[in-house]
Amino acid sequence: MPEILKISDLVEDLAAPRWVDYPEIPGFRLHLRLPDIPEAARIMSLAIKAGLQGPQAVPAASLQPESDSEEDERQAALRVMAVADMVEHQLQEKRFCVAGWEGLKVEHLARLLPRQKVQVEGAAPERELTFCPENLEFLVRHSPDFSNWLGKYLRQWKKEFEAQEEKDNENLPPAPDISPTPSA
C-alpha cells in the first residue's frame, strides 16, 4: 500500500509554538503560541463572560436612561464595561499564548516589577520561578514592560502570519460566483 501524503506535512505552520527570548533578561525565554480561530472565539467568550460577571458589571436597569444626565451616566458605564472587556480579553489571550517559560529567576523580579517592593529574603536570588497561570497573570497585570512587550510581540507575529496567509491566497484561483440568480 502506498504511503499517504498528508497536506499538513507539506505546509509550514507559521503559527506553530516557538521559544522567544525576552529582551533585557538573558536566559529568560517564553514558549509562545498563537490561537487558532476556535481558540480565539473561546478567548473572546471567556472575556465577555468575565466582564459581565465581574465587579464592574452594571445592572441592566441602570442602562435605561430617563434624562440626559442619566444618558451620560449610561454611556460612561458602557465605556467602563467595554474597557473591562478589552482588558479581560487581553489577559485571556496572553494566558493562552504563553504556554510556558524557562530561566525566570527571583533576581529578575526587580527588573520586571520596578514599581513593586520585591521581598527576596528567604528566596535564593538564582532560584527559578516556575511557570504557572498565577505567575503569568501576576506579571501581565503588574509588569507594564512585560505585558506591553508580550502584546507587541504577539501582534507582530499575528500580522506576519496574516500577511503570509494573504500572500498564499493570492495564488489561489478565484472562487466561483455562487450567488443566487434572480428569477424572471
User: Tens of pLDDT along 57-77?
Assistant: 444 444 455 567 777 776 666
Residues of the chain above pLDDT 90, percent: 31
pLDDT tens digits, one per residue of 134-160: 999 999 999 999 999 999 999 898 888
Instruction: Give me the domain span that covers residue 130.
Output: 11-119+126-160
pLDDT > 70? residue 119: yes
What are 31's three cell numbers?
514558549
Q: Is residue 63 a part of any domain in this protein?
A: yes
Q: Is residue 175 a part of any domain in this protein?
A: no
> Beta strand 29-32 with 98-102: parallel, antiparallel or unpaired?
antiparallel
Q: Is residue 166 a part of any domain in this protein?
A: no
CB atoms within 10 A of CB 112: 20
Task: Please tell me the total count of domains within the chain.
Answer: 1
Q: Is residue 169 a part of any domain in this protein?
A: no
Q: Is residue 135 a part of any domain in this protein?
A: yes
Report the pLDDT value the prediction gives residue 67, as an integer from 0 to 100.
64
Q: Is residue 182 a part of any domain in this protein?
A: no
Q: Is residue 18 a part of any domain in this protein?
A: yes
Q: How far is residue 163's CA from residue 155's CA, in Å, rounded to a whole number?
A: 12
Does the reported pTM lie above 0.85? no
Q: Is residue 64 a part of any domain in this protein?
A: yes
pLDDT tens digits, one per residue of 75-85: 666 666 555 56
Q: List Cβ<8 Å contacts ≥24 apart for 10-19.
A: 14/160, 14/161, 14/164, 14/165, 15/161, 17/99
CA 20 to chain centre: 16
Residue 174 DSSP one-character state: P
